[in-house]
């Protein structure tokens, strides 16, 4: 990891500011982008819903390990 860290450090230290250059005006796909990220959030939540449920149960004092213990016994 030392070499990549040194490379990054060298790039950071060697960088100079470039003043006052601004690209032409930009439009806004931001709203569409935000909406699709919400869609992505739905996909992620679907993927991790088991973990979330477990987490919530733990908060409520009914963790999965408790159930598993009961089953074993």
Minimum CB distance to other proteins smaller for 46 or for 71: 46
C-alpha distances in angstroms, 5 versus 1, 8, 12, 15, 58? 6, 5, 11, 16, 39
Options 3, 6, 10, 23; binder of other proteins; rule CB under 8 A: 23
Question: What region does 23 belong to: left with phi over 0, alpha with psi -120 to 50, or beta?
Answer: beta
Minimum CB distance to other proteins smaller for 9 or for 69: 9
Minimum CB distance to other proteins smaller for 12 or for 72: 12
Unique residue bearing structure tokens 């806004």: 28
- Site residues (vs other proteins, CB under 8 A): 1, 4-5, 8, 11-30, 32-33, 36-37, 39-41, 43-44, 47-48
């Amino acid at each position: 990891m030392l070499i990549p860290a040194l490379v990054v450090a060298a790039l950071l230290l060697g960088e100079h500011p470039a003043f006052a250059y601004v690209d032409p005006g930009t439009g806004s796909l931001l709203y569409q982008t935000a909406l699709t990220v919400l869609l992505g959030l739905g996909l992620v939540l679907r993927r991790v819903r088991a973990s979330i449920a477990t987490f919530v149960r733990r908060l409520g004092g009914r963790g999965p390990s408790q159930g598993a213990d009961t089953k074993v016994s």
